[in-house]
Structures are given as structure tokens and as C-alpha cells.
Chains A and B, each alone.
Chain A
């Protein structure tokens, strides 16, 4: 469906605009609201993680939850990520809907085994669904250093059985989290920390879900497609605006939103439409989302291309601490504009 899908996604959002009351929320508050909505709606939903209870979480996503839902449903755990995820697997098998919080996405490494070996393969091996969400505060840009800045989504795309989502707007953060909680599979929910308080937007009230697996058309264009997700969407959107002014270029921006399942139709129809593709993400380059999207396009839409598919990503280095080093690694607006200019001129 593609342009159709992506357009539909946008239309759906527009429809929601018209039908349900909205107000401006931060990306962070939208995540909190999704959790509240689902915990009010469904008593099997509960939060489990480190410091999520009385303290309200390292980023305050669950601030005030203990007061509303009680400590048993906002469960503070020992510092043990495998215990958080493994216990969530067991609870999910028994009919609960756990939402695990990793304090930082980086710490998923300490719970990796339960996620990739137990949770992800359970349905394939045993026919048992594991409905659980793993919230992963991810991304850099604030001198978090190598252990508080990673974007580990590609690890999970390599693990059949896991769904992976990465919203870039407040509305999608809410709608995708609701969908993730209702999904009967383990879902890795990547929430970019730099967007927490920086991104604000109109968010529908109520409990409408944004379906997993549908990309969002951010802005339409015919000269070049930038396919992005997470923090890179914001940069792409700005680059498109500025280059429209500077060069009169019509750049299409697609926000993937879901990485597994990937909206292949949206990607291919945009590629077919513009013939020039830049895939952009903050995560490292090799064997990443960009590589997957580029391979998909070259396999399925090669004859429609007017230029090689290009990638704008972090290089294959850990995320360094010092601001100038970090800036040198994370894709910046100027990098995005330059990559677009090169492709436009190709």
C-alpha cells in the first residue's frame, strides 16, 4: 500500500484529530498516559522495573502510579534485569500483561537471555503467547556516555519473535504503547530519551491504539524520500523544511514507527515514487535498520531508482561521552541536509 499505507496512516491521524479531543503533551507524558489508560482499562496490566514504584522511575514515567494503582501493580524489583524480564515472561504466560521498564535501554544487555531465548522463542517452540512490553529508554545527545546512550533496536530485529517499535511523536508514543500492551507478543518499545521533554504534540484523549507495522507519512514530496524513525525523524523533517526553502526541493519523509513488523509497502511505494532514498537513524550503521531498508528497496524496487540508496547513521563506534565527540558521532541537521543535497544532485 505504501504511499497509500503511509497516507492512510496520516489520514487516520487526521481522523483522530477530528473525532477525539486533543491536548498538547510531551512525549514523556504521552507514554505515562498510555500506561495509565491501559492500567485503568485492564487490571492485568502492571509495571515492573527498577525504581518504578514510589520513586516513579528514573525519568518519572510512572510518577504517581503507586498512589493510583498500588505498589503490587507498580512493582519495584531488585537490580536484576533478567529477573524483571524472566518474571514478566512467567506472569504473561499466566495471563498478566507486564510492562517492563529497563532503566536505560543499554541495560537490556543484562536481560538479553530472557528476552531473546525465553520470551522471543516461546510461541514458536511451545505455542504459548507472551504478551509483554519492554520499555527501552534509548538514544544519546546528552553526554550519557557509552552505557546510557545506545540504540539497540537492530539486536532485536535479528531475533524472530520480537516486535520492535520506535515512536517519534507524542501521539505515536501513546498510541503505539497502547497497541504494544494489547499485542500478544513481546514488544520492544524504544523511547528516545532526547525526545522525552523536547517533543510536544497534540495527543488524542482516550485509548485509541496506533497499529503496529504501519509507517507514518510525515510530509509528502516527489524529489527524494527520507525514511527514518525515532530522533532522526525530527532532523529529517527540519531538513525537508529548510531544503524546500533553500532549493525548492520536495522531500518526502516517512516515519517507520514500527521496525518489526516493517511497513514494506510504505517503503517501496515511496521509493518507487521518488526514486531517491536516504535512510536515516541514530543507531550505528552496519547491519542496522538502514541496511535492511536499503536491501529491501534494491531487491524490490531496483528499476525505479535514480540513485544509490544512501544511509545517514552513527558510525560503528560506541557513543562517546564528551560533547564534541558525541556530536561527531550522532547524525546532526547539517549532516542530514548534506546527505539530502548530494542525493538531490545525483
Chain B
């Protein structure tokens, strides 16, 4: 390993995923059928290809502002969101595009949102991944991190107060764990034993700041101090993330309270497209590239689950074509009228969030009931 002592420390602890306290016991391969495995790969590919397409649009000057992606972190948002039932709710962050796709968003609305088009989820009111599709049960993030941990906790508070077996899930990076609101959220969720699942993406850097300057105690070690289980998993292994998330979601749905899942990964691109990543120790990206979550999962499907190479190639081509179609749709979407900037400051009425899609085969025959 050519990384610095700091990076190699983090690498070592990453490769040996640790669990504590031992309240969650995720089972690998937890109820996954072959079609589930195909979907997991499909959503990761959809995220990768959509972000590649968006980056090209950014370089062509079609995206105002900057560009942010979750390259290398696809397994986390896809694996975690895949555990949810339709009536569950999500607050999705900026490295988690895959979760939007799992819940039913199509890439055209993501690409249009990035370009500030009227066909974007926010119709130009907000940019990049600062959105949630209300009809799919998602509430959009704000730039202040980890504010959505409190909003998700509040949604789960409503579920608890009404006695509904529903779960809220949200994401944040390890950088967020340094902010006071993270503590407020963990503490409140712990005190109230809320049905909320927190997905912590430790991608090694908060912008340029490495873990060693972010915390003296590993965030996952703090879970038990808030009174709920925490588990650390390989964030580049989609089934490991899914298994932990499923266990945590079931735990929360059963009324046993929150859980924190740390997914260890690496942010393979800069904080934004403007970031040259000069602070990343030499060799670190190469190390992580060998553990690319998509390549690894495709290999596993071939080696362990009897998938044919042609089927995987077909899937890749199919998703790439879908993303290209969606890019055309997004590019055809007009820019919003300036006058719409004045609309919508205040609400006239409350509007209910819809249910998201829940592609996990477990829910296939299930009637949604509250």
C-alpha cells in the first residue's frame, strides 16, 4: 500500500468490518432472489451511468453551478434503499442517487434537475441532488449537514405516535458526525426509540479533511452511547449494505428503535467537479478502484450466482441506453419561466407524501397497510 499511515489505518479498519454492540446480525444473502440481484446491479449501473452523463453535461456547460456525484459509493444508497417497504420514507443525500432510482425516480428528472430545467424534480427551484420526489415518499436534502437526520427522526416520530409500523431512513457522511445536529438527532432518536435508520457513509474525507481531523472516536462507536446498535460494514459490497439495512429496518419496524450503519467506502471523485483531490494520498484511489462496487458485484454474480456474462453485458447496454434516452428527455425539457421564481413561497394546503417503489421481491405480494 502506497498510502500514508493515516490512510492505511483507515484502510485496515475498513477491510475488517467491525460490529458493536452486537445487536444486529445481518445475514448475507438475506432473502434475495436472482431478480433482486439483477436489480441491485441495475440500480448501481443506473447511478454510475447517470452521473457519468451528468458530468459530461457539466463539462459541456449545460449544468449551472457545480457538479457532485457519488462515484464509488453506489452500493450504499442502492443496498440501503432496497430494504425499504413502499410506505417507508427517505431523506436522500447528495452521494445517494441510487436510492432515488430504487424508489422509482427516472434519470431524466435527475438530469433535468441538474440543468435547472422545468422537468427537474424541483423545476429549477433547487439544484443538483437537493430534491426528493414527494410522490415517491422522499424529502429533499438541504446543504446543511446533517439536518435531514432530524427531519427523518421527526417523520419516524409521527409513525411512532400513530402506532404505524413504518420506518424513515436517511444518509449522511462521516463529516456530518462532527456537527452538533448529528448529536441532537442521535440523542433524540435514542431517547424516543424512534423507527429511524441512519446510514453513515464514511468516504474518508469531508471535502479535503481526513478522518483523523474529523473525530477522535469513531462515529460507529458512539451508537451504543446513544442507546442503539451500530454496525460497520463494507460499503462497497451492496449485499453487505443491504443485509445490514434490512436488519436495521426490521429492528426499527418492530419498535426496537434506531440503528446506525457505517458503510466504509471511498469518495472516488472530488467533493465537487471543481475539486482536484490533491489532498488524497498517492495510491489510495488505486486501492479503492480495485474494490469498485459495481465490478465486484458483477464478478460475484458470475462466480457465485450463476449469471451469464452476456446477461450482464446486456444489462449494462440496456441501462446505458435508458440513461441516454433520459438525457434526451432532460435536454428537451425547457428552462422554467422566470415568473415561476415568485411562486410557492407559502403553501395553501398540506400535501401528503406518496409511497415509493419497493422493488425487493419480499414486498411483491404484499398489500400495503398502515
B-binding residues in A (CB < 8 A): 46, 72-73, 77-78, 80, 82-83, 85-96, 113-114, 117-118, 121-131, 160-161, 163, 184-185
Contacts and interface: CB of A to CB of B under 8 A. Distances in A.
B155 A128 contact: no
A126 B154 contact: no
Nearest to B123: A127
A86 B185 contact: yes
A93 B139 contact: yes
Given A77-B188, A113-B144, A126-B131, A185 B155 contact: no
19 contacts: A78-B191, A83-B184, A87-B153, A87-B188, A90-B150, A91-B154, A91-B161, A92-B350, A93-B139, A93-B151, A118-B151, A123-B344, A123-B345, A125-B130, A128-B134, A160-B345, A161-B345, A184-B347, A184-B350
Contact of B147 (A77, A86, A127): A86
B126 interface: yes
B159 interface: yes
Contact of B188 (A78, A89, A92, A129): A78
B168 A185 contact: no
A24 B345 CA distance: 38
B89 interface: yes
B347 A87 contact: no
A29 to B, nearest CB: 27
A124 B125 contact: yes
Interface of B: 89, 122, 125-126, 130-132, 134, 139-140, 142-144, 147, 149-159, 161, 168, 180-181, 184-185, 187-188, 191, 344-353
A258 B350 CA distance: 21
B187 A78 contact: yes
B155 A126 contact: no
Contact of B187 (A83, A91, A93, A161): A83
Given A87-B154, A131-B350, 9 more contacts: A78-B191, A83-B150, A86-B150, A86-B154, A87-B153, A93-B139, A128-B347, A161-B346, A184-B350
Q: Top 9 closest A-B pairs, CB basis? A: A90-B154, A86-B150, A129-B347, A94-B158, A87-B154, A90-B155, A83-B184, A80-B184, A90-B151
A245 B170 CA distance: 65
Contacts of A96: 158, 161
Contacts of A95: 158, 350, 352
Contact of A87 (B126, B150, B353): B150
A87 B186 CA distance: 12
A124 B345 contact: yes
Given A82-B181, A93-B353, A113-B181, A88 B154 contact: yes
Contacts of B130: 125
A126 B134 CA distance: 8
Contacts of A128: 134, 139, 347, 351, 353
Q: Which of B161, B181, B347 gathers most chain A CB within 10 Å? A: B347
Nearest to A97: B350
A184 B346 CA distance: 8
Contacts of B352: 95
A83 B168 CA distance: 16
A123 B346 contact: yes
A126 B150 contact: no
Contacts of A131: 347, 350
A90 B140 contact: no
Contact of A163 (B155, B157, B168, B346): B346
A134 to B, nearest CB: 14
A89 B151 contact: yes
A66 to B, nearest CB: 15
A118 B147 contact: yes
Contacts of A83: 150, 153, 181, 184-185, 187-188
Nearest to B188: A83
Contact of B155 (A91, A125, A161, A184): A91
A46 B157 CA distance: 12
A134 B352 CA distance: 22
A82 B142 contact: no
A91 B349 contact: no
Contacts of B344: 123-124, 127
A89 B152 CA distance: 9
Contact of A86 (B153, B158, B191): B153
Contacts of B351: 127-129
Contacts of B150: 82-83, 85-87, 89-90, 114
Contacts of B181: 82-83, 86, 113-114
A127 B345 contact: no
B192 to A, nearest CB: 8
Contacts of A92: 154, 350
B161 A89 contact: no
Contacts of B154: 86-94
Contacts of B349: 129, 184
B117 to A, nearest CB: 15
Nearest to A96: B158
A157 to B, nearest CB: 13
A125 B344 CA distance: 8
B347 A185 contact: yes
Contact of A82 (B143, B152, B161, B180): B180
Nearest to A163: B346
Q: Which of B143, B184, B351 gathers most chain A CB within 10 Å? A: B184
Contacts of B149: 86
B144 A117 contact: yes
Q: Which of A89, A90, A123 gathers most chain B CB within 10 Å? A: A90
A91 B188 contact: no
A193 B350 CA distance: 31
B158 A118 contact: no
A46 B140 contact: no
A1 to B, nearest CB: 20
A160 B125 CA distance: 14
A130 B191 CA distance: 24
A121 to B, nearest CB: 7
A80 to B, nearest CB: 4
Contacts of A118: 142, 144, 147, 151
B161 to A, nearest CB: 6
Contact of B184 (A73, A82, A117): A82
B346 A185 contact: yes
B255 to A, nearest CB: 14
Contacts of A89: 150-151, 154
